[in-house]
Amino acid sequence: MNAFQSACDDVGLIGSRLRESLAAQVQAALVARQARDVIRLTGPTGTGKELVATLLHEVSRRALGRRGVLVRVSCSNLSGELFESVLFGYKRGAFTGADTTAQGLLGQARNGTLVLDEVHNLSWEDQGKLLRLIGEREYRPLGSTIVERTDAVIVLSSNVDLLEVARQGKFRRDLLDRAPAKISLPPLWQRREDIGQLAQAFAREAAEQRGWTGFEGFTRRALADIEGAVVEKREESVRRLREFVRDLVFELEAPVDAIESAAIGPHLMSFFQLESLDRDRWDREAIDADFDRLVERRTAEQLAALHGVPERTLIKLAQILREVYDSLPEGSNPVPGSYRNLVARMNLATKAALWLMSGARNQAEFRRFFGTKPYEMPPKSVAWQIYHELFGEGGRVRK
């Protein structure tokens, strides 16, 4: 996905593990859906949601040819009539002080991207005002009788689990159901291999600001210590890691070629509130994590070889399956994420795709698509079952 990789480079997204995770999520949530569905972007504070929202905008420009601008708004600062006027715009005379007509953020984000940050902070009433926008992509500026439409990529960003907040009755479930595309950012400590890459980048950035030349960053042992401390304390925030690294570099009295492990020990213990640096245990855990990751990376290769299909095809099928899984409505009965429900939906989708591939208008044409000899064609009973399963009793395929 060249558009994705180039967008990552341009926005400065660091971390091979995060890039790997986002490649599939962005493909499923944005590109495959052609930017038609509202995206839920969630992750703990400091994990990079603002950066990922920018990434979504850049990917939409490169992969989907969109040319609008990126517009952000913090929902914590909006409520009531202010919320509507800022988001939807207003006509002159719509309220006291409306001396001119304003298009609102939705108008500004035409053919671009609108990010609603901290969307969970909207009041119940203001959440209700989003229903038509999120569901039908329609809205009406204050004081206007004309309903307008938006083609913006809409991103609902939050540092809390919106589904859990909805279960608690603090967020509208019907609003969530209208935003089926999901991107979730893991906490930093779960992206073990990204920690060192980020720390190194932050250190070099700070050294450059100090005017140092020839600075290489942290030694391998120092990076291992930082990684161990972050995992040990279950640190979620990339922002906190950046703060630690920059403080360390700016406190150095003179330029150095590299920062050694011995120089960062006291800082690690103080910043992350560690009682000790258990390097032996951290190293064992790192080796275990690297081994598990190696096995994980080889899974697709092994499965593809075992079943005689190209690895790329298998990965594409996995992405399609993820889209089917994400399309299932949450919270229904039986549980949509259950194995049976997912397999049933996937089986039906596979049969529908087979029919489309054949271009058949009836059962006979569907059978003949696969061959003219009896052993090549699906039995009549199978063709009949697929036909009626897809189109229902009396169903007909039309040209």
Tell me the domain boundaries of the chain: 2-186, 189-277, 328-391
Q: Which CATH number fits domain 189-277: 3.30.110.40, 1.10.357.10, 1.10.8.60, 1.10.3720.10?
A: 1.10.8.60
Task: Characterise 117 by phi-psi region: left (phi > 0), alpha (psi -120 to 50), beta (else).
Answer: beta
pLDDT, residue 293, reads 66
Return the closest-CA partner of residue 176 out of 55, 326, 390, 69: 326
How is residue 189 annotated by DSSP?
G
How is residue 18 annotated by DSSP?
H
Amino acid at 87: L
CA 209 to chain centre: 32
Burial class (CB in 10 A: 0-12, 13-18, 19+), 202: buried
CATH entry 3.40.50.300 includes domain 2-186: yes
Q: Which residues of the chain have pLDDT under 50?
A: 394-399
- Return the structure tokens found at 232: 């040990």
Report how far residue 120's alpha carbon sits from residue 75's, in angstroms, rounded to the nearest whole number: 8
Number of H helices, E strands in the chain: 18, 9
pLDDT, residue 399, reads 41
pLDDT, residue 107, reads 93
Three-state DSSP class for 118? coil
pLDDT, residue 306, reads 78
Which residues, 6+ apart, have CB-to-CB distance to 61 below 8 Å? Answer: 67
pLDDT, residue 394, reads 46
- Return the structure tokens found at 293: 């990751």
Report how far residue 23's alpha carbon sits from residue 4's, in angstroms, rounded to the nearest whole number: 7
What pTM was estimated for this model as a whole?
A: 0.75
* Cβ contact 273:231 at 8 Å: no
* Cβ contact 234:189 at 8 Å: yes
pLDDT, residue 296, reads 64
What does each C-alpha distance from 338 to 325, 328, 351 come to in angstroms? 10, 10, 20
* Cβ contact 198:238 at 8 Å: yes
Strand partners of residue 114: 71, 154
Rg (CA), the chain: 26
What does each C-alpha distance from 196 to 179, 231, 251, 271, 380 come to in angstroms? 35, 12, 20, 17, 60
pLDDT, residue 108, reads 94
* Cβ contact 152:113 at 8 Å: yes
Going by their DSSP bridges, the two strands 258-259 and 148-149 should be labelled as: unpaired
**Strand ranges across the sheet with 70-74:** 70-74, 113-117, 153-158, 39-42, 181-184
